[in-house]
A and B are shown apart, each in its own frame.
Chain A
Amino acid sequence: MTQAEPLAPDAAFVAFADVGKSYDGGRAAVCGLNLSVRKGEFLTLLGPSGSGKTTTLMMLAGFEAPTEGDIRMEGRSLRGRPPHKRNMGVVFQNYALFPHMNVAQNVQFPLQVRGLRGDAAQAKVEAALELVDLGGLGGRRPDQLSGGQRQRVALARALVFEPDLVLMDEPLGALDRQLRERLQVEIKRIQRRLGVTVIYVTHDQAEALTLSDRIVVFAGGVVQQVGTPEAIYERPENAFVAGFVGENNGLDGIVTARDGATCEVRIAGDLLVRATAVGDIGPGDAVVTTIRPEHVETGTEIGTLCNRFAACVDDVAYHGDHSRLRAILPGGAALTIRTQNGSAPGGSDRLTIGWCADRCLAFPAGRVNGGGA
């Protein structure tokens, strides 16, 4: 079910091969994981809580051992190698700074345990603190810092010893939105500058889209899709990915006809929708058709679109640069529509909406890549 990687496994920097993890023989936390990480890339493990992304990260860091399969790094198995010999920098959600050391001592810690002392160590610590914009704060104690500053220290500490790999476990989860967005930019900037390989765990799909070179979407311990942010967003491979990444409207229906890549779906109110078929579906199959809010047109050009419906506006929410409308189709199905402000038809509670079949995907209903499937 998981993706065949374009990269040959032995060329991969880090490779998961059929990795599984279950606790006390219970339900598998991670199952049948095959994944290759390229050197220098920013890879995000994205999924809801309990989907297996953190377990995957912890297995890579060495805090958990896989119950099946093997993880390789530069071709060598990591099995039995303790965390302190893996040379990976880990950034934890709650920073995990050492409260009895000041900032400089925290950052110096990985150098110290590697036997690096003196001016060389000092210079590296200062450089790392400069890198995260904390120059001059080396003497502070962690409890004298703000949340954002603490996370920068954690980042500096994970980078200062030039690890092969940096692992980040929801590092921005405890911060407010503005700070989070600012730090996202910085993390990306630092990663580009150092060219370091980063594996990043988050449940925030927007964060994943912003930061990543590639995203791995997890659900129920199984990889749903691997791809660039654009591919994940524009070409989701199943209904779960389509719903989880970005905002989407879902319309349940039955396939009435299929013609090559397109198919016709009957949804509530006997409305017929033309959609692009994803996967093996045919007439009579129950499907979910999805259309993103920004792809629903309300302007004058809708005459050219193959899907056109009269709808009534239920609700309008003003968002500054755009507005979001809630439109009800004749069969009762509700759609969220995003319109540029200034271009939306004002006033009327009835309007005609439409979308193009290319933008509308039909997935087999209720199919999420599941354990062992």
Chain B
Amino acid sequence: MTGLRRLLAWLALPAALIGLTGCSGESEPRPLTVVGWGGSSQEAHRRAYWQSFTRATGIRLQEDTWHGGVGVIRTKVLGGDTSWDVVQVETEDLILGCEEGLFEPLEWSSLGGRDAFIPTAVHDCGVGAMLWSYLIGWDGDRIEGPGPRTWADFWDVERFPGRRGMRRTPKYTLEFALMADGVPASQVYPTLRTPAGIDRAFRKLDALKPNVVWWSSISQVPDLLGSGEVAMSVTSPGRLIVANRTEGRNFRVSWDGNIYAVDYWVILSNSPRKAEAAQLLRHMTLPENQMRLPQYIPTGLTSRRAGELIDPRLRLDTPSDPNNMTNALELDANFWVEYGDQLTQRFNAWLAH
């Protein structure tokens, strides 16, 4: 009897402590929270959208940053953490998160209808935020003349001596390898869906492997190119062009055979402020607001109307310029959702041998 009572007392003590701490918190509602990828892209969103949004609506915004991975969001939503409302996600994260119900389905009518956007920017759970691409970049001060143009040039270490920077993932890398091997953009994913196509991509990679420096963060690329560690690198153009503008560098890019993809805005399904979040999405997708974005970062636009109205000079360094779409390939996120585990495993095994 006393034993039981003592046991209850032990149990009650921590419970009481938890009760005490549980009383505080959630008293002050937090501001609407929007989560971007940091760096120059977040800076651009802030200046193009977020400041004017608070001015126009009076709704205060709070910023956070992350580096992708739907696992982060899954942990938050399943764990009852309601600290994020609007998040910028990549396509695969969008697909997986939407299937799992981590994202709120969008009301497209309030965004101006699905037809107001380019087709890839439209998804049940997300609306395109920006259009970006991976392509060949190099330092114009180190490679004179016209420089490399195609992926075949990228593979050609005779004509362009020096190492190559590539992202340490099978994603993009296998596609580029097939294009370098002469597979036309339209046939890249059909080829990759066959075992022979995968073998072909890895065989092509074998040829370049001794010359590759594998980077893991896009922020490494300007340093790798600028220091001459690599002669050319897979890169997204934004950072290099920003470096040209702000640091007087002479980085150059070739759009031939670029892979482009869309980032999306999503609203988390456990957001306590879904109405305000939808308001923010509307604000960020209005053509007149989107047109401001390329002033701050070279990116393609998802709103058709904004793409037509934009100053052609601002379009020059973006996937929105039709001239940049020669042999371009849209990233097939469904392929990577399906093959990601297997190919990453094989890619890592290949890297180690």
Chains A and B touch (C-beta atoms under 8 A apart): no
Interface residues of A (CB under 8 A from B): none
Residues on B facing A (Cβ under 8 Å): none
